[in-house]
Amino acid sequence: MCSRSFTTYTGEDTRSTFEWWNHWPVGLIDSSGRCAVVPDRASHSSLSHILWPEYVKGEDSITKILMDGLTNRPAAELAVLAKSWLHPAAIEISGPGFESKGYDPTERAFVVVRNSGASPQLQLKLQASDNSLLFDPAVVVKNWNADAARVTVDGRALPAGTVRIGTIRHLDGTDLVVLMQQQTTKPMEITLTAPSSRTQSP
Residue 201: inside a domain, yes or no?
Answer: no
Number of domains in the chain: 2
Residue 179: inside a domain, yes or no?
Answer: yes
- Cis previous bond, 25, omega within 30: yes
For residues 48 and 87, state if they share a domain.
no
Distance CA 154, CA 189 (A): 5
Residue 75: inside a domain, yes or no?
Answer: no
Q: How far is CA 8 from CA 19, 66, 67, 138, 167, in A?
A: 10, 18, 20, 35, 41
Q: pTM of the entire structure?
A: 0.78
For residues 105 and 148, state if they share a domain.
yes
pLDDT category of residue 98 using cuts at 50, 70 and 90: very high
For residues 52 and 132, state if they share a domain.
no
The per-residue pLDDT for range 107-164, each reduced to its tens digit, is: 999 999 999 888 899 999 999 999 999 999 999 999 999 989 999 999 999 998 999 9
Residue 202: inside a domain, yes or no?
Answer: no
For residues 53 and 130, state if they share a domain.
no
Structural domain that includes position 26: 1-66
Could you tell me the CATH number of the domain that includes residue 96?
A: 2.60.40
For residues 117 and 188, state if they share a domain.
yes
- The answer to whether residues 195 and 149 touch, using CB atoms and an 8 Å cutoff, is yes
The per-residue pLDDT for range 40-92, each reduced to its tens digit, is: 878 877 777 778 888 999 999 999 888 777 889 898 999 999 999 999 999 99
For residues 111 and 59, state if they share a domain.
no
